[in-house]
Structure formats: C-alpha cells, structure tokens
Structure 1
Amino acid sequence: MPLRVIEIVTPRSDKDQVVHSLEEHQTDQGYVYWASPLEDEEALSFRIILDVQESENVMDKLENLFAWTDQYRIVVYPAEATIPRLDQLSKEKDEKSNETKESEDKKQNRISREELYTDILDTTVLSKNYVMLVIFSSLVAIIGLLRDNVAIIIGAMVLAPLLGPNVGLSLATTLGDSKLAKESLKTLTVGITLCFLLALLTGLVLGNTSPTEELMTRSNTTFSDIILAIVSGGAGIISFTLGVPTSLVGVMVALALLPPLTASGLFLGAGMLGEAGGAAMLFTTNIICLNLAGVVTFLLQGIRPLSWGDKERAKAATVRAAVIWTALLAALIGLMIYEKHR
C-alpha cells in the first residue's frame, strides 16, 4: 500500500490539542508522528506517516479540529518507504496496550479527497499549454485518420486532452463544486471547439476525397460502443482515485474522444453530412457515458464533501446530473434504434 506524509503547521500554543487528537486516533489509523519546531519558534510542524487509505480520515479529523486561517497549513506528499514498517508498529502498540479497538472510520482504498481534487484540477485548468496540446493532438489525429494509420491515431488517443476536463466535471458534480464545474466546462468547450475547427478547416481544404477505413469506422455508433465507453469511463475514474496514472494509458486508448470528433469535422468539411452526423453521435455518446460512469464511480468510491451543507448541495447536484446524463443516453439509444429500423 502506498504511503503518505501529512505535514501540519500549527501555532505552538495548539501543541497539546494537536498531540491529544493525534494520540487519540493513532491506534485506529496505525500511523506514527513527530513534531519539529520551525525557525520562527512560534509554530510547530507535525509530520504523520501513514497508509494512503487512512489519509482522508486523518485529514478530515484535522480539518474539523482547526479553525483554518493563515496560521494553519496541511501539506500531503508521498513517501517511498518507512522502517520499521507501519504494520509492525501497529502490532507492537496492540501488544503493549492489550486492547483491540475497532475503527469507527471506514478505510478508503484510494487517495484522499483533497489529493484527488488537486490531481484532477491540474488537468482541467485552461492554459496556453492546454491549447497547444489540443492543437497538436488534433493534428496527429487528422494525419492518422487521413493516412489510415492506426499507430498515429493511438498517439492522438494517448495525448487525450479532453479526458481531464470530463473527469473534472464528474468530480465537480459529485462534490457540488461549482467553481471546478465552470472551469472544467470552459476548458472542455475550448478543447472541443479547437479540435473540431481544425478538422473542419482540413476537410474544406482537401475537399471530398475518398474516406479511409479508419474514418468510416468512426461514422457510426453501436451498442458495444456504449458499453465500452461506460466501462472505460469507470476504469478511468478508478485509476484517478487510486493515484495510478500509468493505468490511464489504456483508458485513453479505449475511450477515444478525439478521433470521432476529428472525423466529424473532416466529414463535414468534405460535405459528407451523414457521416459527419454519425461521427458526432459517437463522440457525444462517449462524452455522456464517461460523465455518467464518472459520477457513479466517484459515488461508489465514497467521494463526498466534508461538511453537512456541502453534502446536501452535492447530493442535489449529483442527482440532477445523473438524471440529465441518463436522459441523454436514453435519447441517443432511442435515436440509434430508430436509425437501425428506418
């Protein structure tokens, strides 16, 4: 299990309160801690080393303990290893105290809510680098589709600039975070618009050329595409919550957002309206399934706000989003059935 170090900076006057809280829950969470004075001699730095699955419980307790001002700060960073191991330390403490106490907190087999938020926020911020990534990945997808080269198309899939904002939107819905939702929507809109316009311009310049097999593959949507998008979306969310970015490469390839969007622009620019609509439907299906799977998976992973008021607001936002995404998916399935029998 990965390890985390939680560093807490507090005024020296709060030392006894912090020590009491840490010792009270030390047996439950199985962590070790120590304190160090800072240079100004008016503050202390407490460092806790623990399993990542315990980090959210500990951070929630600390957040409830303090009235957060500039005097307080919590920083979380990874640790490679600790000697002796934490499980050995926990056993030693149990043997000394001769007590067995069942933890009141459910262990989360994932990174903490705050760590997850920071990781996803990095992928949703609209910046010059993000715009450049969208342009480059769109050009890679265009070249791959026009050359009928699967390897080049996979390169565009791996870059996946549209995945992060969609995951951010799902997390924002689950947490009821309107600021993150607005940032994710803004970034996603810019990314979609840039990619589509580049593909459309390319289609207009090249005209109605003979479409490649890879282009035609993305001009229709099947029920297996819906299942693949939902499963891949759920797997992507789990990869984020486990803090395992290497697992996302497979998800990026399986849940391809960029190629169908690029194909739609190329088809439209070439005047192939039917194929453009089919590719747009595949892209829309992937977006809907990703967000629906994201909201559900975040809920199953126990991602919730801390305070009661935030929980109520998040619950309302989650229900509303789930209804909207489900309704859109049902409408798409109905359209697919209609097109099939027409």
Structure 2
Amino acid sequence: MSARIVKIYLLETRIEELEEILQKHVRRFWREAVPGGQEKFSCIVQQRYTERLLNELWEVFQQEPQFTAYVEAIEAVIPPIEETPDTELPLDTDLPPPTALERFFSRDRLSTDELYDDIEESLHVRPSYLITVTLSAIIAGLGMHSGQTAVVIGAMIIAPLLGPTMGVALAATVGDSKLGKQASLTLAIGCFFAVISGLILGLIVEIDPLTPELRNRTLVQPADVALALACGAAGVLAFSRGASLALVGVMIAVALVPPLAAVGIYMGAGFPVASANAAFLFAANLVCVNVAGIATFLCQGLPPKSWRITGGILFVWSVLLVMLLSMMAGRIILGFGSWEVVLDFISRRS
C-alpha cells in the first residue's frame, strides 16, 4: 500500500477545525504538543487521498501564519491499512465522485505538490543543465554515428530534458502559466544547445548520412507517432508514481534527444533536407508527448484550476498533432523530403 506521513503544525485554538478535516481524509493520526502554543498532528494518509487533504488544509488554513504541513513517504505500515470498496473514504457531498478510470489511475499517484517539488529543481537554466544537455546530445550523436544503440540509450539515461518536458505537460494540465513559461523556456534553451552540439559534431566528424541509427531519425512514420504517444503516457505514469528518473528519462529522451542531435549533425555535415526531416520528427514527437502527457495527467485525476483553460490547451496541442499527421501523410504520398531527394543531393555534390 502506498501511503504518506503528513505532519501538520497548527495553533491549538484551531484544532477542532483540523480534526474535522482529518476525519474525512486520514486513516490514523496522533497528536502531540510542541512549543509555541502549537499542536503537531502526524497522520497516515493513503497516497490517493493526499491530494484532497492538502487542498482542504490550504483552503481552510492558508491565512494562518503558524500553519505548516510536511509530506513524507512511508515504506510500510503495521497493522496494514486495507483498501477495499467498503473501507474507501467518502468525498464531500458537493464534489462529484471519481470515475472508475480516475480511481484506478490515481491509486498510487503523487500529489500535485509532490510533483511540483520533483520538477522544480530541473526547471532552472544552470551550468549543470547546459552541460548535461550538451553531453547527452554528443553521446547520442556519436552513438548514432557509429551505429551503437547502447550508446544512444546511455545518452537517454542522462535525461536532461525530462524536467522541462514534464513541466510543460503538468503546467498545461493544472493551468499554471508561470510554470508553463519557465518550463518552456528551459526546454527551448536545452533544445538549442542539443542542436548546436550536434552541429559542432557534424562539422568535425565525417558523417555517413545513410547510417541506420542516423537515417531512422529522419523518417516519420505512423509507428513513430505511436511510439511518441506511448513514451509520453508511460513517462507521465512513471513520473507521477515516483519511479526512477533514469527510467522516465529513457521514455522521454527516446523521442526528443536523438532527433535533436540528428538535426545538428545533418546541418553541420551539409545535408539540409535530412536536417529538416529530423526537425520534423522532433516536432511530431514533442507534440505527441504533450498530448499523451496531458491526457494521462487528467486520467489520473490531476485537478485543473480551470477546465476551460486546460481543455483549450489540450485542443491546441491536438490540432497541432492533426496538422503534423496531415503533413506526414503528404510527405509520404508526395515524397517530399524523401531520401531520394537526399541521395540526389549527395550525388550532385560528389
């Protein structure tokens, strides 16, 4: 069972209000006095109920200067807390009951505050972030150049674009414009450095444009769209359950880092058509990851501040996806940007 310890500090004058709230969301709790006229409550809360407990605590006590709440993970609880339909804690009568889909997906999801905390540190453009983006792109580029898939996977484990990518999807889901701007800026800077790293690599290393690992990053097929959608959904599911960042990073990076490195490599090697194809693959993957990410967050019951804003953002991403799919179909049917064009360009150059 996934559970959390929520430690709450509050003035003793408001204890009755707090106990009423705890009865609705908490399985077990105990109370102790602390200096300063405060009381400390240590509560065992199932992970699925943490979100609604924190929301109600903030709604009631946000104006209370002495109020503080901490959330910690629990490895085990004895005696165990059963989770059955009979023991399920009820919602307030003014809230709609969760759907079966929300109940299933939200069972082990981290609370929104925990997700924010996990993402926050990775949204700042620091030297370490720029260095890891550069190294990741170089490793991916060299792996594709030499045809070593294991090396490309190693570049993905570095996962420099994980935080910004998850941040964009999370911001769109909850309607947080500040988080969205910060995540988008960090992601854009990271993408720029990845392309520049690939460009330098393409200028100094002799490139065979037909190397399978490189060429695959210039082909956009229906399977690539399905892969990017699966990566986005799987990445959000793993991330929202506190899975290993390396695991989540591989899921996200498979759709983003190699195409970006390929854009720069082909550009530096003098193959503009192939570079444009790789950029198109990256754009399609980025849109797919966000569409799948937002949809998965919503399925997990992540609460939007405004359904109108969140629905509008998801609609825009979906329209972009449809446009890219239409362009993909046109490129396949008409042969625009195909490898026949690239090979013809190579033959004329030689």
Fold equivalence (TM over 0.5) = yes
- Give the alignment partner of residue 78 of structure 1, picking from 73, 77, 96: 73
Q: Partner amino acid for 2:201?
A: T
- Give the alignment partner of residue 35 of structure 1, picking from 31, 37, 49: 31
> Contact (CA 8 Å) 1:30, 1:86: kept in 2 or not?
no
> Per-residue displacement from partner, 1:282-315 (whole Å, max 9, x unpaired)?
111110100111111111111114xxxxx33xx2
Residues 77 and 30 from structure 1, CA distance in 2 versus in 1: closer, same or farther, beyond 3 angstroms? Answer: closer
Residues 115 and 157 from structure 1, CA distance in 2 versus in 1: closer, same or farther, beyond 3 angstroms? Answer: same
> Per-residue displacement from partner, 1:3-50 (whole Å, max 9, x unpaired)?
100111111222232223323x2xxx4511112222x33222111012
Give the TM-score normalised by structure 2: 0.84
Q: Partner amino acid for 1:79?
A: I
Match of 1:97 in 2: none
Match of 2:186 in 1: 187
Match of 2:328 in 1: 336
Match of 1:3 in 2: 3
Match of 2:82 in 1: 87
Q: Runs of 5+ in structure 1 lacking a partner?
A: 95-99, 306-310
Match of 1:15 in 2: 15
Q: Partner amino acid for 1:33?
A: F
Q: What is the 5 A alignment of 1:150-165?
A: 150-165=149-164
Aligned: 1:66 with 2:61: yes
Q: What is the 5 A alignment of 1:301-312?
A: 301-305=300-304, 311-312=305-306
Residues 146 and 37 from structure 1, CA distance in 2 versus in 1: closer, same or farther, beyond 3 angstroms? Answer: same
Q: Partner amino acid for 1:203?
A: G
> Contact (CA 8 Å) 2:232, 2:290: kept in 1 or not?
yes
> Per-residue displacement from partner, 1:231-275 (whole Å, max 9, x unpaired)?
22111111122222365255246x431011101110011111111
Aligned: 1:48 with 2:47: no
Q: Secondary structure at the match of 1:257?
A: helix
- Give the alignment partner of residue 308 of structure 2, picking from 269, 292, 316: 316
Match of 1:120 in 2: 119
Residues 231 and 222 from structure 1, CA distance in 2 versus in 1: closer, same or farther, beyond 3 angstroms? Answer: same
Partners in 2 of 1:101 and 1:33 — Cα distance? 15
Partners in 1 of 2:231 and 2:208 — Cα distance? 33
Q: Secondary structure at the match of 2:255?
A: coil
Residues 249 and 138 from structure 1, CA distance in 2 versus in 1: closer, same or farther, beyond 3 angstroms? Answer: closer
Q: Partner amino acid for 1:216?
A: R
Q: Partner amino acid for 2:139?
A: V
Residues 137 and 82 from structure 1, CA distance in 2 versus in 1: closer, same or farther, beyond 3 angstroms? Answer: same
Q: CA deviation at 1:205?
A: 2.7
Q: Partner amino acid for 1:46?
A: F
Q: Secondary structure at the match of 1:232?
A: helix
> Per-residue displacement from partner, 1:154-204 (whole Å, max 9, x unpaired)?
111222212321111111011111110111011101100101011112212
Q: Partner amino acid for 2:205?
A: L
Residues 20 and 323 from structure 1, CA distance in 2 versus in 1: closer, same or farther, beyond 3 angstroms? Answer: closer
> Contact (CA 8 Å) 1:158, 1:252: kept in 2 or not?
no
Match of 2:337 in 1: none
The aligned length equals 321
Q: Partner amino acid for 2:235?
A: G
> Contact (CA 8 Å) 1:219, 1:275: kept in 2 or not?
yes
> Contact (CA 8 Å) 2:209, 2:215: kept in 1 or not?
no
Match of 2:217 in 1: 218
> Contact (CA 8 Å) 2:172, 2:313: kept in 1 or not?
yes
> Per-residue displacement from partner, 1:107-154 (whole Å, max 9, x unpaired)?
531221211222232333322221221122112112212221111001
> Contact (CA 8 Å) 1:220, 1:282: kept in 2 or not?
yes
**Which of 216-225 and 325-334 deviates more?**
325-334
> Contact (CA 8 Å) 1:5, 1:78: kept in 2 or not?
yes
What is the Cα-based RMSD across aligned positions, in Å? 2.4
Partners in 2 of 1:208 and 1:113 — Cα distance? 45
Q: Runs of 5+ in structure 2 lacking a partner?
A: 335-350
Match of 2:228 in 1: 229
Q: Partner amino acid for 1:331?
A: M
Q: CA deviation at 1:209?
A: 4.8
Q: Partner amino acid for 2:324?
A: L
Q: Partner amino acid for 1:15?
A: I
Partners in 2 of 1:103 and 1:299 — Cα distance? 19
